[in-house]
Amino acid sequence: MAKTVFGKSVRVDLKETIEPKATALIVVDMQNDFCAPGGHYVKYGKSVEQANRIMGPLAALIESSRDRGVLIVYVQNTQNRSGSYSAPATIALLLKRWNNDESRTLFTIDGTWGHQVVDRLRPGERDMIVKKHRPSAFVGTDLDQILRAAGRETIIVSGVVTEGCVESTARDGWLRDYYVVVAEDCIASSTPELHEAQLKLMREIYHFVVPSNELMRTWG
């Protein structure tokens, strides 16, 4: 049962928090450029091993979510060829990350193979798709409106990269008064130490950080 505090009904345990009709699964940036062998990350020397490792658990979580009426929202990092979506401050950070190589600052270009969600996790007909231009899926998008219109109070966050777009989306959801659940075996980074450090912080900040099989077991 929900707990009443200050006259408000508060979800306090995992079963209440992830009640399917009140929950959305957010799949962040599981795109070819970040996750596939021929994508941008691999081209410039980053590993996609961890991203590929989470695809099995994430595919199962997506299927289970669909079966139970959980809203599924795929988030796609999106640029265009002109680079007009990127502010100078954003470009400066990308140049710092990629050793001032301008050719590396364009990826997930709208309409390209690199922009597409990996085949194994392809969106279904009833799933929602949100294109974002910043690390957080809430900034400059209609994600918040989609969730509120569907009556969703909880977000389950998954995808890549743990310390980047996953964390930014989780934090912005929390700041917008959503219950935030992180599927810990369904998030990944190419930098293991940053992944582990961010997971440690997430466990301190968010409502639940649990394996996907615990979420599915809780749904029954």
Give the pLDDT score at 92: 87
CATH number at residue 215: 3.40.50.850
- Flag the least confident range among 9-23, 39-53, 113-127, 174-188: 39-53
Residue 2 domain-assigned? no
Q: What is the pLDDT of residue 86?
A: 81
Q: What is the pTM of this model?
A: 0.95
| Amino acid 105: pLDDT | 78
Q: 76 in a domain, yes or no?
A: yes
Q: How many domains does the chain have?
A: 1
Higher pLDDT, 157 or 104: 157
Is 167 a member of any domain?
A: yes
Q: Catalytic: 165?
A: yes
Q: Within 13 Å of residue 204, how many CA atoms lie on the same side as its CB? A: 6
Q: Which long-range contacts link 99-106 to residues 24+ away (Cβ below 8 Å)? A: 104/40, 104/44, 106/79, 106/81
Whether 93 is covered by a domain: the verdict is no
User: Which tens digits make up the pLDDT trace of 67-76?
Assistant: 999 999 999 9
Name the percent of the chain lying above pLDDT 70: 99
Task: Identify the pLDDT of residue 90.
Answer: 82
> Is 149 a member of any domain?
yes
Catalytic residue among 29, 33, 172, 185: 29
Mean pLDDT of 104-119: 93
pLDDT given for residue 23 in this prediction: 98
Dmax (CA) of the chain: 56
Residue-range definition of the domain harbouring residue 43: 14-82+108-219
- Which of 131, 132, 172, 186 is catalytic? The answer is 132
Residues with Cβ < 8 Å from 219, sequence gap 6 or more?
Answer: 18, 20, 64, 68
pLDDT (0 to 100) of residue 183: 98
> What is the DSSP code (8-state) at residue 162?
I
- For residue 127, is it within any domain? yes
Q: Does residue 198 sit within a domain?
A: yes
Position 121 in a domain: yes
Supply the mean pLDDT for the chain. 95
Whether 200 sits among the annotated catalytic residues: the reply is no
The C-alpha atoms of residue 73 and residue 199 are separated, in whole angstroms, by 22
Predicted confidence (pLDDT) per residue in 46-90, tens digit: 899 999 999 999 999 999 999 999 999 999 999 998 877 788 888
The Cα 198–Cα 215 span in angstroms is: 20
Q: Report the amino acid identity of residue 192.
A: P
Residue 36 confidence class, pLDDT cut points 50, 70, 90: very high
Higher model confidence: residue 204 or residue 92? Answer: 204
The predicted pLDDT at position 73 comes to 98
- Please tell me which residue in 35, 131, 165, 185 is annotated as part of the active site: 165
